Structure 1
Amino acid sequence: MSLKISSAIEILKKHDLLVSSSVSDENLEVTNISYNSKADQTNGIFFCKGNKFKAEYLDQAIKNGAKIYVSEKEYSKDIDRLIVKDASKALALLSAKYYGNPENDLFIVAFTGTKGKTTTSYFLYDILKNAYPKQVGLFSTVDRIVGPDPKDEFKSDLTTPESLELFRDMRRCVDNGLKYLVMEVSSQAYKKNRVYGLKFDIGGFLNITPDHIGPNEHPTYEDYLNCKKQLMINSKINIINRQTNDYDTVYAAAKETSTDKDIYRFAQNEVGDTDFSIRNKESNLNDSVFTFTAESDKAEDLQEHSEYTYKLGLVGDFNELNAGAAIIAAKKIGVKNEVIADSLKSAFVPGRMEHINTQSHGTIFVDYAHNYASMNALLSFIKREYPSSK
């Protein structure tokens, strides 16, 4: 992997990010890229980023071999430098270029939402994995899977990785022969420019409720919503929960870059102005059965029959909505319905509505629910199933 400095300058100019350049040799081709001053910087480009960045970090990077740095202000005149308006945006664009723009060789489906991102991503990952064995990657809150072998699976540290790691792992996916990537995109990914410049083939908007509001995340709900809706603006095909809060805002965002034929809406029960409706037929503490009905002409065009029945191997009526988003994405990719149905039957998501039946302590549920919306959905379902329990 490498990056020619002349190409870096051209990219930064194209995106109106370059403030100034002090470069002795534009033909320099760096073979290292980093924002971690402790790492090996031999013949590398180093990024000064973050509110807590200190000049001594750059000094350490230079000692470790950095040839040029990118920053929002000038720290050192000892080596070449590119001064930019936004270092995090520059990192995203130049990381993509350094790794050979692997995103262009992947069909990328992304989901966002206050709750349900991980579950929906796993649903679609399982479907695609069965349809296209050894060709599907996954970037989730729980796992990152960049290849078909066990060595290519490891635990995630962020829902959406920093842009450098994001494009590095996309490159791993491509080099390992993968063709499809399913990923979660958090609001922080847009807030921190981790996915800046990245376009998605399909983007799914699951829901939004007031959460992640605070000094270390989003200052206001409006800021949170603005970051969430960016996925719609940056996706070719949009899948939207018709019952989400702020639906009009989300739909308007999708309309900015997509036409009606590329926007699919789904909802539970009787809701007007939707493309697919989901109706529960039966459910218990082991699985649920629901119908998936086409309610518009474009929905009927997408599936061979107007209605299908699916059995979901993960309990919770809220998971039927998550499955709905995954089903639409799979159908748009061209997966056969038999594969979708079989995959959903055996659906399993680590830490999501796992239940253990015990002899003396009843049924134990293990779930990652970590915010109000997720916990409320979980407890509401259990209360309906156990109306007499405490």
Structure 2
Amino acid sequence: MNLLKDILYKVSLNKVVGNTAVAVRDLTFDSRKVGLDDVFIAIRGTQSDGHEYIKMAVDKGAIAIVCEEMPANFVNGITYVQVTDSQQALAMMAANYFGNPSEKLKLVGVTGTNGKTTITSLLYNLFTEAGYECGLLSTVKILVGKKTYKATHTTPDSLTINKYLQKMVEAGVEFCFMEVSSHGIHQKRTEGLQFKGGIFTNLSHDHLDYHKDFKEYRDVKKVFFDQLPKQAFALVNADDKNGSVMLQNTKAKKYTYALKRYADYKAQMLENQFSGLLLKINNNELWTKLIGSFNAYNMLAIYATAELLGLEQMETLQLLSTLQSVDGRFQYTVSESNITAIVDYAHTPDALKNVLETINAIRTGNEELITVVGCGGDRDTTKRPKMGKIAASLSTKIIITSDNPRTEDPEAIIEQIEAGVPAEHFKKMLSITDREQAIKTACQMAAQNDIILIAGKGHETYQEIQGKRTDFDDFKIVNQLLTALKK
């Protein structure tokens, strides 16, 4: 049993009413999950305010309440702790409650708009192949050694992060690779964690439904680097102008990687084709099965991180050459009639542009490039016309369809994407609301040697419409359709 006073170590306290030497069973910020002798942390969320559920938590057996605003009435025997920031307090308390597991392994965080899942997943694979016990906290899944758990958020809440880090410590994990989202940083979910290193990939248009503007989005990412300790490393993409911003106030050791300018870790793309990339990294040639310039950056970041974590250079290069792409990230299949179908998670303007430019750099120009694209509902609306413009400008045909409409009208989302399509590209555009029908139409339109890109959902195996999730896997569906057509 943990004592409340120990769990509150390093938490900035404004006022305490009651005894902090009480034994605590568990921590929760969800009033529905409160049990006997639990601590309830009242969080002000986007949907509801935990302060409204303090009485419910007490009625359900909470022994202590942590809040920003004290209730009007106190209940005897209950300890009340007032803090300035409940989210920050939750992060520190979660780390203390689980025994500060991040200090007992080497935790590396990856942040940026694109590339987080690929870099964390492939670092996990590379270090596992090198013989280390590893952990992964990603959008796609959570891994403790070889054991898989389902992921619900890119960066989980503080309790979930520390719970899994503790499992990793118990399992003998030495390295953990973690995606760090702007939401996670803004909501203080990563505070109280001891990072061995931080990686910045790039910054482009995303999450402006949550952050009020691009500057806030960038500055939130910067906070992660500001908080790195001096014994950690900060590795940033020098080809992105925001890379230098991330390093401005960090105490960590600073390193850069780049394809276009001078950097500590430099790479050149020598060949780029559907079978893979030939790279020259710090004067060593490397053939990798991954494709495109965005993956050249990813591979370079992985190479640099492996070296910074102590792996030997030649072993790293050998292991890099064996890595396979992550599910839903430029995942492709070729039909009997030589139609190439590519499924990619590209759901931001920059990611879509990267994927389409990669395909166009490889294709001879005689093939059609048919792009199936949509945008998620209840998310940043300003990127929708930009996605339409990019898809139309860089494809020979586009089919605009549904992604995960969530609670929005899918046809209204499609209209917003269509609004960005320049008039000269109208003739190459189709709109089909039903995503499966859109993919089927693309397959029917494709002839021998043509290329189909299905963008936006990548690894997801569901589609969310009006709060209901149904099974939907782009890669599985396009494989079935191409097999059935057999042109």
Q: What's the TM-score bracket when you normalise by the shorter of the two chains?
A: 0.7 to 0.9
Hey, what's the Cα distance between the residues in 2 that align with 1:286 and 1:182? 27
Hey, what's the Cα distance between the residues in 1 that align with 2:40 and 2:344? 40
- Report the counterpart of residue 265 of structure 1 in structure 2: 256
Q: Aligned in 2, Cα 1:380/1:64: closer, same or farther, shift over 3 Å?
A: same
Hey, what's the Cα distance between the residues in 1 that align with 2:194 and 2:344? 32
- Report the counterpart of residue 162 of structure 2 in structure 1: 167
Which shows bigger deviation, 375-384 or 330-339?
330-339
- Report the counterpart of residue 302 of structure 1 in structure 2: none
Determine whether 1:205 maps to 2:200. Answer: yes
Secondary structure of the corresponding residue to residue 200 of structure 1? coil
Query: How many pairs were matched up?
Result: 358
Pairing partner for 1:357 from 326, 330, 334? 334
**Cα pair 1:34 1:41 within 8 Å, conserved:** no
| Residue 145 of structure 1: how far off its partner (Å) | 0.6
| Residue 9 of structure 1: how far off its partner (Å) | 4.5
* Residues 1-390 of structure 1: pairs in structure 2 closer than 5 A: 2-12=1-11, 17-23=12-18, 25-51=19-45, 52-53=48-49, 57-75=53-71, 76-78=73-75, 79-133=78-132, 135-148=133-146, 152-214=147-209, 217-235=210-228, 236-254=232-250, 257-258=251-252, 262-269=253-260, 271-272=261-262, 274-293=263-282, 307-348=283-324, 349-360=326-337, 362-386=339-363, 387-388=365-366, 389=368, 390=396
Hey, what's the Cα distance between the residues in 1 that align with 2:20 and 2:13? 15
- Report the counterpart of residue 298 of structure 1 in structure 2: none
**Cα pair 1:141 1:160 within 8 Å, conserved:** yes
Structure index of larger Rg? 2
- Report the counterpart of residue 426 of structure 2 in structure 1: none
CA-to-aligned-CA distance 1:18-69 (integer Å, 9 cap, x gap): 121111x322120211111222422111111123125553333223321111
Hey, what's the Cα distance between the residues in 2 that align with 1:89 and 1:197? 8
Larger RCO, structures 1/2 (Cα 8 Å, 6+ apart): 1
TM-score by length of 1: 0.87
Secondary structure of the corresponding residue to residue 83 of structure 1? strand
| Residue 156 of structure 1: how far off its partner (Å) | 1.0
Identical pairs, percent: 26
> AA paired with 2:323?
A
Q: Aligned in 2, Cα 1:359/1:309: closer, same or farther, shift over 3 Å?
A: same
| Residue 360 of structure 1: how far off its partner (Å) | 3.8
Structure 1: unaligned runs, 5 residues or longer: 294-306
| Residue 310 of structure 1: how far off its partner (Å) | 1.6
| Residue 336 of structure 1: how far off its partner (Å) | 2.5
> AA paired with 1:324?
L
What is the CA RMSD across the aligned residues, in angstroms? 1.7
CA-to-aligned-CA distance 1:245-289 (integer Å, 9 cap, x gap): 3233223133xx13xxx32111114x13x1121111112102111
Hey, what's the Cα distance between the residues in 1 that align with 2:149 and 2:315? 26
> AA paired with 1:376?
K
> AA paired with 1:137?
G
Secondary structure of the corresponding residue to residue 66 of structure 1? coil
